[in-house]
Amino acid sequence: MDSNLKIGMKAEIEVVVEQQHTAMAFGSGGVKVLATPMMIGLMEKAALKAVDEHLGEGFATVGTMVNIKHLTATPVNMKARAVAVLTKIEGRKLSFDIEAYDEIEKIGEGTHERYIIEVAKFLKRTEKKAIK
């Protein structure tokens, strides 16, 4: 595996909160505000964006752990963004600090882990599982 990963790598993802991003749409609550699963998804995408393009051919990352706090609600039509910073590299295990913001304040924070995988081997193992 050939990669150019370095501590401190950072990426950001932004979305305008729409109805399909709400807790009501996700089934994770009964209100029309940014759903926690959507915020977590943004955080994961930011972490992926920070590192995946720097991996060698045939490699990618998969999320394995998310530990977050959703601090406050974000209404529909407001921008939300997630920022991920690579904080630790332990072999194939990557650790990130993740934060999310809306246009007014910080809305979430926590940590995230991803593992570097060899895509072909990973898919082969997954396909075997599907056959059983």
Marked catalytic residue, from 21, 22, 61, 70: 70
Q: Is the pLDDT assigned to residue 29 strictly greater than 80?
A: yes
Domain presence at residue 116: yes
Marked catalytic residue, from 22, 44, 61, 112: 44
Q: Residue 22 catalytic?
A: no
Domain presence at residue 99: yes
The pTM of this model reads: 0.92
Q: Is the pLDDT assigned to residue 1 strictly greater than 70?
A: no
pLDDT score for 96: 98
Marked catalytic residue, from 12, 36, 54, 111: 36
Mean pLDDT of 74-100: 97
Q: How far apart are CA 56 and CA 5, in angstroms?
A: 10
Q: How far apart are CA 101 and CA 83, in angstroms?
A: 8
Amino acid at 19: Q
Amino acid at 72: T
- What is the span of the domain harbouring residue 20? 10-131
In this prediction, what percent of the chain has a pLDDT beyond 90? 86
Domain presence at residue 2: no
pLDDT score for 28: 86
**Whole-Å CA distances, 117 to 3, 12, 36, 77:** 12, 22, 27, 36
Domain presence at residue 1: no
Q: What are phi and psi of 123, to 5 degrees?
A: -65, -35
pLDDT score for 2: 56
Number of domains observed in the structure of the chain:
1
105-127: per-residue pLDDT in tens?
999 999 999 999 999 999 998 88
Q: Residue 98: give its domain's CATH number.
A: 3.10.129.10
For residue 83, what are the contacts with CB-CB under 8 A and spacing of at least 6? 10, 11, 12, 46, 98, 99, 100, 101
Domain presence at residue 4: no
Strands 93-102 and 10-16 come out as unpaired
Q: Residue 64 catalytic?
A: no
Mean pLDDT of 27-56: 95
Domain presence at residue 3: no
Q: Residue 44 catalytic?
A: yes
Quick one: tokens of 105? 């304040």
Q: Is the pLDDT assigned to residue 86 strictly greater than 60?
A: yes
Domain presence at residue 5: no
